[in-house]
């Protein structure tokens, strides 16, 4: 048999039907539903008198619109949500899920969180499955070896009704990172380095497979951060081959197989890795030793420089349209070419989002904040755990105290300031060091200026009041 | 979504013409919090409608089922709201020199035909549309003016079939129900 990549193996195992033009009907094993992209899909089902084919393979969780302030008062009653449209989207998910028989994790449940944090954490996401969600960062779940991608609302409806999607096969792209990461360099810096290298449209039409010794050594949570940003390079999915770390992560998760079923599944999962000699349509390689703590200067996730670097000049880009967009970006960001990144003052720090809100992210940030305090010039510093379980774990480790003592606000799980849909926003004209994944104009609120960073850099920046990493912070301490 | 079969569309055509109309112009972000596909027409092209002389509010084009646009129509975000907004305006066909892929796919999913014609043909239709009705014939794959000028186009055979039969993709997939059920018996990992 010809050697196959992991993508090809998962694809082949899910073909229900093949049309003459090569389009395939692909079975979908897992479907995550949130409140923003589902109301019209449920409306469509109702209008056509259709049911959800496999409610048992579907999981609904609200995240985008939920405020991250307490959701119940002392008497246990729900605190009303002030934005009527947010409230309506949330209410509809809460009523649609049970009326279509879908498992629902509600706003006050301990397991509630961002869909892409909840899926892996619950063991809902499994290696070798196809997983979709009406959200582009669904690529995250590829960290566990699931072929996971974001879909639009009509496709959400299609999956609800048929548990399948009509798809064309993607091309494959190998992203190889080899070697040991330098001290202070986190998975987020790797994710940003990859987007910077490939460019935001560079992997369009491709599924990325992450390979190499750097990833072998990386934790599952780190891999989730990297796969989360596959979409920022244009790839709808990113894959990691399951290994012993994957098995250890999944063992005992509430929706994962148990006992003998787990052992059997584990054997199948380990066989998913690309065959020796399998070929990719494209390959890129990065030397881990050359990756530095990173920060974005512009309004695209590919606008990455090392934190000890400077704002580039738009004229330095060979591509004419990139020069124009760089000029616009600098104008929007109110930055000048040549400015030192580490001298840029920020007023907001956001630690959260499906990119960086898991326990390891919080530990990394708390490690820097311990015994320190945020600068007086910081107007808002938020830590938003990715799920209720992350929050509880962090509290058990005393991380909440570290954050609160340092001057951060310790919030309830949700998407928060990653996008301006709920009350957490960055005010117009202010700057934010953010651990999220998109620095688009207005993403964190109209006129907000976003610098994407790792949790460690976000924490160091909060202490310094300007963009800063742990090494520089120690310099400042002395 | 259940929809009406679409064989041909006869009526006024809104001569918009502009290039690179992005999804933000079609429907602003503030509309993304809606929970229904209906009603979005009210917000469609709001920025352009600020101009008192805009084509959308010109009484000659009230209720027009056809839109004529410039190249790269629907670029920008993947939001399906753009297609919903245009469908809600009552538009069933858009004629342009080119469309963004995602928009074309979203439009199709919502029963809107995206018709690609060369720029010169689009320019001619822009003029004709000022005073006359147009016919977009999905079956015959041409646009017809009142004095008999024909502009032939090609539609993806699958999409054309779906539009003409009023089928949505869910209907089509449901015809493969046996296959889906057979697949499920063999190889689905249950959630425990
Ligand atoms: S945290 Fe941000 S990127 Fe992630 S799902 Fe929520 S809004 Fe999307």
Q: Given an 8 Å threshold on Cβ–Cβ distance, is A88 in contact with B170?
A: no
Residue B2, pLDDT > 80, answer: no
pLDDT at residue A447, as a whole number? 94
pLDDT at residue A346, as a whole number? 98
* DSSP H or E stretch at residue B68: strand B66-68
Looking at the CA of residue A416, tell me the nearest atom of ligand 1: 1
Q: Given an 8 Å threshold on Cβ–Cβ distance, is A29 in contact with B189?
A: yes
- The Å distance, Cα B12 to ligand 1 centre, comes to 42
Residue A264, pLDDT > 70, answer: yes
CA distances from A2 to A12, A197, A276 (A): 13, 31, 10
A137 lines ligand 1 (CB under 6 A): yes
CB contacts < 8 A (A, B): 106
- Which chain B residues touch A36 with a CB distance below 8 Å? 32-33
Residue with CA at minimum distance from ligand 1 atom 8: A137
CA distance A48 to chain B (A): 6
CA nearest to A272, candidates A119, A139, A147, A133: A147
Percent of chain B with pLDDT over 90: 76
pLDDT at residue A2, as a whole number? 93
- Which chain B residues touch A27 with a CB distance below 8 Å? 180, 183-184, 187-188
CA nearest to A361, candidates A372, A350, A373, A377: A350
Strands A206-211 and A237-239: parallel
- Which chain A residues touch B167 with a CB distance below 8 Å? none
pLDDT in tens, A338-395: 999 999 999 999 999 999 999 999 999 999 999 999 999 999 999 999 999 999 999 9
Region A4-28: mean pLDDT is: 95
Could you give the CA distance from residue A231 to residue A343 in angstroms, rounded to a whole number? 30
Nearest-by-Cβ selection for A56 from B1, B187, B191: B191
Could you give the CA distance from residue B73 to residue B60 in angstroms, rounded to a whole number? 23
Region A296-323: mean pLDDT is: 95
pLDDT at residue A303, as a whole number? 96
Q: Are the CB atoms for A397 and A416 separated by under 8 Å? A: no
Sheet architecture: strand order including B113-116: B13-15, B66-68, B93-96, B113-116
- The Å distance, Cα A184 to ligand 1 centre, comes to 25
CA nearest to A293, candidates A184, A392, A374, A156: A184
Region A18-36: mean pLDDT is: 94
- Considering only A16-25, A324-333, B69-78, which range has the smallest mean pLDDT? B69-78
What value does the CA radius of gyration of chain B take, rounded to a whole number of Å?
Answer: 18
Nearest-by-Cβ selection for A162 from B110, B173, B189: B173
Residue with CA at minimum distance from ligand 1 atom 2: A418
Could you give the CA distance from residue B20 to residue B26 in angstroms, rounded to a whole number? 11
Q: Are the CB atoms for A333 and A300 separated by under 8 Å? A: no
- Considering only A195-199, A287-291, A409-413, B155-159, which range has the smallest mean pLDDT? B155-159
Q: Are the CB atoms for A409 and A400 separated by under 8 Å? A: no
Region A250-263: mean pLDDT is: 97
Residue A181, pLDDT > 80, answer: yes
CA distance A172 to chain B (A): 20
**Which residues does B contribute to its contact with A (CB < 8 Å)?**
1-2, 29, 32-37, 78, 80, 84, 106, 109-110, 158, 169-170, 173-174, 176, 179-180, 183-184, 187-192
Dihedral angle over CA of A333, A339, A341, A342, nearest 10:
-130
**pLDDT tier at B101 (50, 70, 90 boundaries)?**
confident
**pLDDT tier at B180 (50, 70, 90 boundaries)?**
very high
**pLDDT tier at A478 (50, 70, 90 boundaries)?**
low
Could you give the CA distance from residue A290 to residue A182 in angstroms, rounded to a whole number? 8
pLDDT at residue A329, as a whole number? 95
Q: Are the CB atoms for A271 and A6 separated by under 8 Å? A: no
Q: Given an 8 Å threshold on Cβ–Cβ distance, is A152 in contact with B192?
A: no
For residue A40, give the chain B residue with the closest CA: B36
CA nearest to B167, candidates A27, A18, A158: A158
pLDDT at residue B31, as a whole number? 87
Could you give the CA distance from residue B5 to residue A246 in angstroms, rounded to a whole number? 49
Q: Are the CB atoms for A295 and A457 separated by under 8 Å? A: yes
Looking up tokens 């879909």, which residue turns up? Answer: A151
Q: Is A432 labeled as ligand-binding?
A: no
Q: Given an 8 Å threshold on Cβ–Cβ distance, is A157 in contact with B80?
A: no
Q: What's the mean per-residue pLDDT of chain A?
A: 96
Phi-psi domain of A174 (left: phi exceeds 0; alpha: psi -120 through 50; beta: other): beta
Could you give the CA distance from residue A406 to residue A400 in angstroms, rounded to a whole number? 10
Residue A58, pLDDT > 60, answer: yes
Q: Given an 8 Å threshold on Cβ–Cβ distance, is A256 in contact with B169?
A: no
- Considering only A25-34, A105-114, B164-173, which range has the smallest mean pLDDT? B164-173
pLDDT in tens, A234-244: 998 999 999 99
Region B170-184: mean pLDDT is: 95
* DSSP H or E stretch at residue B83: helix B81-88
Q: How far is it between the farthest Cα atoms of chain B?
A: 66
Tell me the three-class secondary structure of chain A, residue by residue.
CCCCCHHHHHHHCCEEEECCCCCEEEECCEEEECCCCCHHHHHHHHHHCCCCCCHHHEEECCCCCCCCCCCECCCCCECCCCCHHHHHHHHHHHHHHHHCCCEECCCCCCCCECHHHHHHHHCCCCCCCEEEECCHHHHHHHHHCCEEEECCHHHHHHHHHHCEEEECCCEEEEEEEECCCCCCCCHHHHHHHHHHHHCCCCCCCEEEEEECHHHHCCCHHHHHHHHHHHHHHCCCEEECCCCHHHHHHHCCCCCCCCHHHHHHHHHHHHCCCCCCCCCCCEEEEEEHHHCCCEEECCCCCCCEEECCCECCCHHHCCCHHHHHHHHHHHHHHCCCCCCEHHHCECCEEEECCCCCCCHHHHHHHHHHHCCCCCCCCCCEEEECCCEHHHHHHHHHCCHHHHHHHHCCEECCCCCHHHCCCCCCCCCCCCEEEECCCCCCCCCCCCCCEEEECCHHHHHHHHHHCECCCHHHHHHHHC
* Residue to substitute from A40, A205, A234, interface B, most B β-carbons within 10 A: A40
pLDDT in tens, A410-461: 999 999 999 988 999 999 999 999 999 999 989 999 999 999 999 999 999 9
Region B59-74: mean pLDDT is: 95
Looking at the CA of residue A386, tell me the nearest atom of ligand 1: 1
A56 contact B CB<8A: yes
pLDDT at residue B190, as a whole number? 81
Q: Are the CB atoms for A163 and A131 separated by under 8 Å? A: no
**pLDDT tier at A293 (50, 70, 90 boundaries)?**
very high
Q: Given an 8 Å threshold on Cβ–Cβ distance, is B80 in contact with A47?
A: no
- The Å distance, Cα A438 to ligand 1 centre, comes to 9
- The Å distance, Cα A217 to ligand 1 centre, comes to 26
Region A40-53: mean pLDDT is: 96
Region B14-20: mean pLDDT is: 92
pLDDT at residue A300, as a whole number? 93
pLDDT at residue A243, as a whole number? 98
Could you give the CA distance from residue B141 to residue A308 in angstroms, rounded to a whole number? 59
- The Å distance, Cα B122 to ligand 1 centre, comes to 40
pLDDT at residue A475, as a whole number? 83
pLDDT in tens, A115-145: 999 999 999 999 999 999 999 999 999 999 9
Nearest-by-Cβ selection for B189 from A44, A129, A166: A129
């Amino acid at each position: 048999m010809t050697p196959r990549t992991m993508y090809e193996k998962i694809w082949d195992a899910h073909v229900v039907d093949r049309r003459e033009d090569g389009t395939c009907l692909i079975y979908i094993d897992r479907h995550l539903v949130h409140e923003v992209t589902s109301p019209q899909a449920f409306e469509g089902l109702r209008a056509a008198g259709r049911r959800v084919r496999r409610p048992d393979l579907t999981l609904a969780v609200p995240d985008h619109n939920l405020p991250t302030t307490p959701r119940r008062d002392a008497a246990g009653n729900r605190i009303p949500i002030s934005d009527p449209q947010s409230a309506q989207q949330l209410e509809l998910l809460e009523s649609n899920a049970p009326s279509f028989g879908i498992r629902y994790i509600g706003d006050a449940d301990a397991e509630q969180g961002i869909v892409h944090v909840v899926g892996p954490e619950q063991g809902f996401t499994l290696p070798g499955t196809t997983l979709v969600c009406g959200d582009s960062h669904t690529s995250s779940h590829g960290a566990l070896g699931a072929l996971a991608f974001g879909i639009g609302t009509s496709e959400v409806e299609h999956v609800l009704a048929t548990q399948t999607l009509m798809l064309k096969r993607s091309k494959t792209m190998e992203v190889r990172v080899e070697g040991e990461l330098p001290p202070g360099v986190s998975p987020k810096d790797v994710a940003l380095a990859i987007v910077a290298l490939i460019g935001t449209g560079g992997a369009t039409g491709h599924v990325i497979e992450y390979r190499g010794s750097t990833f072998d050594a990386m934790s599952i949570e780190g891999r989730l951060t990297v796969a989360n940003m596959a979409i920022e390079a244009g790839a709808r999915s990113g894959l990691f081959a399951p290994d012993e770390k994957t098995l250890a992560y999944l063992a005992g998760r509430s929706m994962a197989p148990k006992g003998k079923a787990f052992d059997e599944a584990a054997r199948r999962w380990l066989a998913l890795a690309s065959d020796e000699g399998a070929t990719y349509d494209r390959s890129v390689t990065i030397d881990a030793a050359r990756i530095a703590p990173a920060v974005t200067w512009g309004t695209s996730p590919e606008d990455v420089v090392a934190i000890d670097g400077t704002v580039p000049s738009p004229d330095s880009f060979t591509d004419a349209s990139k020069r124009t967009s760089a000029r616009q970006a600098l104008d929007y960001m109110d930055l000048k070419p040549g400015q030192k990144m580490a001298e840029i003052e920020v007023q907001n720090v956001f630690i959260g989002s499906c990119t960086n809100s898991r326990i390891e992210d919080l530990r990394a940030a708390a490690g820097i904040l311990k015994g320190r305090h945020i600068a007086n010039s910081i107007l808002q510093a938020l830590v938003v755990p990715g799920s209720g379980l992350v929050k509880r774990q962090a509290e058990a480790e005393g991380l909440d105290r570290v954050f609160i003592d340092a001057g951060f606000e310790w919030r309830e799980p949700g998407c928060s300031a990653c996008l301006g849909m709920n009350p957490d926003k960055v005010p117009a004209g202010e700057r934010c060091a953010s651990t999220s994944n998109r620095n688009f104009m207005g993403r964190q609120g109209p006129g907000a200026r976003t610098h994407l960073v790792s949790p460690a850099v976000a924490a160091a920046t909060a202490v310094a009041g300007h963009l800063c990493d742990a090494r520089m912070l120690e310099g400042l301490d002395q | 979504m259940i929809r009406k079969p679409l064989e041909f569309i006869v009526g006024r055509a809104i001569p918009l013409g502009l290039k690179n109309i992005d999804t933000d112009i079609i429907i602003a972000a503030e509309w993304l919090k809606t929970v229904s596909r209906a009603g979005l027409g009210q917000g469609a092209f709001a920025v352009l409608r600020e101009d008192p002389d805009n084509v959308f509010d010109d009484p000659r084009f009230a209720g027009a089922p056809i839109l004529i646009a410039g190249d790269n129509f629907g670029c920008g975000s993947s939001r399906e709201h753009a297609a919903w907004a245009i469908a809600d305006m009552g538009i069933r066909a858009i004629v342009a020199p080119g469309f963004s892929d995602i928009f074309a796919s979203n439009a199709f999913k919502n029963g809107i035909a995206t018709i690609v014609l060369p720029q010169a043909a689009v320019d001619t239709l822009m003029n004709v549309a000022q005073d006359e009705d147009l016919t977009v014939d999905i079956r015959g794959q041409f646009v017809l003016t009142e004095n008999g000028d024909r502009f032939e186009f090609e539609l993806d055979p699958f999409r054309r079939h779906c539009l003409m039969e009023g089928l949505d993709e869910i209907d089509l997939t449901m015809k493969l129900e046996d296959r889906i059920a057979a697949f499920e018996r063999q190889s689905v990992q249950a959630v425990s």
